[in-house]
Amino acid sequence: MKIVFASTPDQEEKINELVKRFYRDIFPMYFSDKDIKKFEAQNVLSNETAQLDGTLKEAYHVIASLQTLLSILESSILTYDHQALYEKNVETLHEYGYNFPFSYDEFIYAKENKTSFFSTYTQAANQLLI
């Protein structure tokens, strides 16, 4: 008999929060709003298509991979020193059914050629109170 521990609602919430950070903080740094809309249509990082069995181990793997990718892609300068780590974590996401169809080169190219950093996906710096 094998005993597995189920993922908690907090872990599932953490995964959803990390995915939202990609759309709110990472993708606007590299891609246009038009591209990001396409990513939504393609279910990029959608957990609806994920194949998690709901175990604690799987949830931790996904959380760790998302956090690692966020850390790499948030850096101000992308270098090829982190490419192997990037690819390993993308592979982990693919194993659990998360669609992340980007190569490391795409982010390097996008960062070098991005002209505008204004996006409707970024979180507002302040809110208007009525």
Give the CA distances from residue 126 to residues 18, 50, 91, 120, 123, in Å, rounded to whole numbers and listed in that order: 21, 34, 37, 14, 9
Express each pLDDT in 61-85 by its tens digit: 999 999 999 999 999 888 889 999 9
Tokens encoding 115: 């002209």
**Structural contact between residues 73 and 18, judged by C-beta atoms closer than 8 angstroms:** no
Identity at 18, one-letter amino acid code: L
pTM beyond 0.85:
no
Express each pLDDT in 11-26 by its tens digit: 889 999 999 999 999 9
